[in-house]
Structure 1
């Protein structure tokens, strides 16, 4: 076998491993999602009219969470991470959005705040979609039970996907800041969590995604110490209290975004299952 053929075969094997890992990470709540879909269908078939629904509680008018949005600096890099590393599937991409309608839809509150402060909106990171100086591109990535939307605001002169972003990224992304959000991925029960984190960091580093760094459960004071920590320091296992059975780690993504990876086992898994069942019963009662 030629060296090129060997490399191609190795790359194909690596892709299969990663695809399998991505499915393992992100398929954990398929059953719950299916149950939720069935619940919504049952509610629809309950005989409730549109008028009754529109006069009911706000919660009864929802179908759940459709997607989480993440504004990125580099669209291609983020898309590669969420599809090739974590195994998501592209739904579609669209872009070059501009004009007053989309500008007002997304940015009215920031324009008002800028006027109240008597400053140029551009100094607050508000792009000019209305005038077309900046544009918005989006890509949707499907996981088993939720969609992630990647958004990039760029100057009109920049190429879609690979062009520079309109605003610089925030340097400090501590999850302790109010208004901070994170994306949490559900790891399958039978996955070796410590190994998953190690493999995630290694694959991301191989792709040049140096921001992808997971925290450790032991105290480290330098990046060198973090990297040298034993693999068993990758997972925080909760063994008492209401969260018993919860396993988690916090990790930055390729854009510096805050990610979390979790497993829910034992008592805490039952708590979530019971809460889900109780919500189904409540929704059914409201629909009846």
Structure 2
């Protein structure tokens, strides 16, 4: 391997590290020690339980088929704000940071890594692009793995989208958004679907609380069937909608009112108090 190649891979590695640190700084989630340039002292935070060394969730990541379409949904439709974007990531350090476990799986199965969705970031045949979108309390990272010759942001991803999208599958994850207390939840969902349909984002479809046997029946269902509202038990005050996003990703929208709102508020306050004592 040439010195130039080594330097390029080293630069990619440093860039990946700066990418993560920069995103955390941009969203105000670096710790006080990092912000002040101090390092942890023996007997300090590094000796605390693992949970006490965390500051919370920094972001949720979604691998998308079409970056421009996904970015428009999370910024223009849902109102998120772009934090930063970067891309054209490639090289061995990036490849193995993201794909080492899948390389091992491919080797154990004696199959070509490409057949189980492993792109060639190491050799540069594929590249990774990212965009970070800020909401009030969390950041969403959009990731697209594309062929090197494909322009950044446009076109389809390198890998095929998954066929099985039921949230019942183990390892499935979803992104949940709060709906404000003073918003009519049923109207919000109707407006969301209408706006996405106007933009051609036909994958954005919310479920209904009644049986529907076709897309026509789903659209024709009464507006009050848009959301399920819970009025008893520990979840009293919780309203829920399950909805697919433009990339087929699982989304949830919730409104948290009444007793359950107090339950979560009390839990958050108790955690803050315990953290401050630590």
TM-score range, shorter chain: 0.7 to 0.9
Q: 2:241 is matched with which residue: 228, 246, 249?
A: 249
Give the alignment of 1:26-45 within 5 angstroms. none
Deviation beyond 6 Å, 4+ runs, structure 1: none
Question: How far does residue 277 in structure 1 lie from its aligned partner after superposition?
Answer: 1.1
Alignment of 1:98 with 2:90, yes or no, is yes
Give the alignment of 1:269-288 within 5 angstroms. 269-286=261-278
Q: What's the TM-score once normalised by structure 1's chain length?
A: 0.82
Alignment of 1:71 with 2:59, yes or no, is no
User: Once the two structures are superposed, what CA deviation does each residue of 1:102-130 show, in whole Å capped at 9, x if it has no partner?
Assistant: 00100000000100000000000000000
Q: 2:105 is matched with which residue: 110, 113, 127?
A: 113
Q: 2:255 is matched with which residue: 263, 271, 283?
A: 263
Determine the C-alpha separation between the residues in 2 that align with 1:165 and 1:234.
32
Which consecutive residues of structure 2, in runs of 5 or more, have no partner in the other structure?
Answer: 1-27
The corresponding residue for 1:201 is: 193
The corresponding residue for 2:9 is: none
Q: 1:144 is matched with which residue: 133, 136, 143?
A: 136
Question: How far does residue 50 in structure 1 lie from its aligned partner after superposition?
Answer: 3.7
The corresponding residue for 1:32 is: none
The corresponding residue for 1:222 is: 214
User: Once the two structures are superposed, what CA deviation does each residue of 1:151-192 show, in whole Å capped at 9, x if it has no partner?
Assistant: 000010111100321101012211100000000000000000
Q: What's the TM-score once normalised by structure 2's chain length?
A: 0.85
Which consecutive residues of structure 1, in runs of 5 or more, have no partner in the other structure?
Answer: 1-36
User: Once the two structures are superposed, what CA deviation does each residue of 1:191-231 show, in whole Å capped at 9, x if it has no partner?
Assistant: 00000000000000000000000000111111111000010
The corresponding residue for 2:78 is: 86
SS in 2 for 1:217: coil
Determine the C-alpha separation between the residues in 2 that align with 1:257 and 1:268.
27
Give the alignment of 1:104-183 within 5 angstroms. 104-183=96-175
Question: How far does residue 57 in structure 1 lie from its aligned partner after superposition?
Answer: 0.6
Alignment of 1:189 with 2:181, yes or no, is yes
Determine the C-alpha separation between the residues in 1 that align with 2:221 and 2:89.
45
Determine the C-alpha separation between the residues in 1 that align with 2:241 and 2:164.
19
Question: How far does residue 241 in structure 1 lie from its aligned partner after superposition?
Answer: 0.6
SS in 2 for 1:247: strand
Determine the C-alpha separation between the residues in 1 that align with 2:222 and 2:263.
31
Determine the C-alpha separation between the residues in 2 that align with 1:280 and 1:203.
38
SS in 2 for 1:255: coil
Determine the C-alpha separation between the residues in 2 that align with 1:119 and 1:171.
21
Determine the C-alpha separation between the residues in 2 that align with 1:108 and 1:200.
39
Which protein, 1 or 2, shows the higher relative CO under an 8 Å CA cutoff with sep ≥ 6? 1
Superposition RMSD on alpha carbons, in Å?
1.8
